[in-house]
Amino acid sequence: VIELVGFDGDDTLWHSEGYYQAVHAGFERVLGKYLDLADARVHERLLAMERENLHLFGYGAKGMTLSMLETAISLTSERITASDLHHLLQLGKDILRHPVELLEGIREAVAEVAREARVVLITKGDLFHQEAKVAASGLGELFHRIEIVSEKDESAYRRVLSEFSVQPSRFLMVGNSLRSDIEPVLALGGWGLHMPYHVTWAHEASHGVDPGHPRLLRVDTPAQIPGALRDLQLRAAGSEAMSLPG
């Protein structure tokens, strides 16, 4: 049976991606003073720069801010004014200060899951920013542990599971990203509960998850999470019974 449930933070517990998209729109408005936005494919260039810089800056708002500055300097051939660079920096700071708004019903869902299993928050990004969001969310005390990782890949999940002394087959991860929350957990032999958010960061859009995977369920709202956990518990019990010898 499932004894440990991981929850993603951004766009699973609280709203996030919308703020990033608003900043991207502000970035384009500033660059529009220098370039023909339709020709320059500003948005694609920014995404490419963010992707290129991930291995240096990691995930999060600070890396995105530096990538905005670098993209702006490069696309304007160093013509952008200090005043406009200052504006871009402010956009990045706005992200770090955005209010933490919980998804409707998520507090109740986490609390209900926590009555059946240990729950852990597993999130990635800037350590400082993520810690501030956890504190502002008021959800911290519901979790047995908060894990802030630099990348959500198989080795990160394996490390969290070994710290809890839990087999992957007894772990469920709940999150909005198939790439970060679901795919590596299924690959380890764990369970996935996908709760899509209405917008997805381009970087998270590519994945290799089969929507019909036997250890995967999908819900549309936080209120459906406890019921989905019960369904998955039945499946987990069934597969454990089948794997017993004789």
Residues that bind Mg ion (CB under 5 A): 8, 10-11, 176-177
Rounded CA-CA distance 10/16 in Å is 5
Q: Whole-number minimum distance, CB 182 to Mg ion, in Å? A: 11
Identity of the residue, 11 or 183, whose beta carbon is nearer to Mg ion in the bound complex: 11
3-state helix, strand, coil split of the chain in percent (to 5) is 55, 15, 30
* CB atoms near residue 50 (< 10 Å): 23
CB 185 within 8 A of CB 178: no
Identity of the residue, 8 or 126, whose beta carbon is nearer to Mg ion in the bound complex: 8
CB 9 within 8 A of CB 121: yes
Query: Which segments of the chain are extended strands (E)?
Result: 4-7, 118-124, 145-149, 171-175, 191-194, 216-218
Q: Whole-number minimum distance, CB 209 to Mg ion, in Å? A: 15
CB 187 within 8 A of CB 154: yes
Q: Whole-number minimum distance, CB 10 to Mg ion, in Å? A: 4
Identity of the residue, 5 or 42, whose beta carbon is nearer to Mg ion in the bound complex: 5
Q: Whole-number minimum distance, CB 139 to Mg ion, in Å? A: 14
Q: Whole-number minimum distance, CB 12 to Mg ion, in Å? A: 5
Identity of the residue, 42 or 122, whose beta carbon is nearer to Mg ion in the bound complex: 122
Identity of the residue, 35 or 47, whose beta carbon is nearer to Mg ion in the bound complex: 47
Which tokens go with 122? 């597993």
Identity of the residue, 8 or 147, whose beta carbon is nearer to Mg ion in the bound complex: 8
In eight-state DSSP terms, residue 29 is H
Secondary structure (3-state) at 67 = helix
Rounded CA-CA distance 212/225 in Å is 18
Rounded CA-CA distance 44/33 in Å is 18
Identity of the residue, 24 or 133, whose beta carbon is nearer to Mg ion in the bound complex: 133
CA distances from residue 145 to 78, 83, 84 in whole angstroms, order as listed: 46, 43, 41
Q: Whole-number minimum distance, CB 193 to Mg ion, in Å? A: 13
Q: Whole-number minimum distance, CB 60 to Mg ion, in Å? A: 12
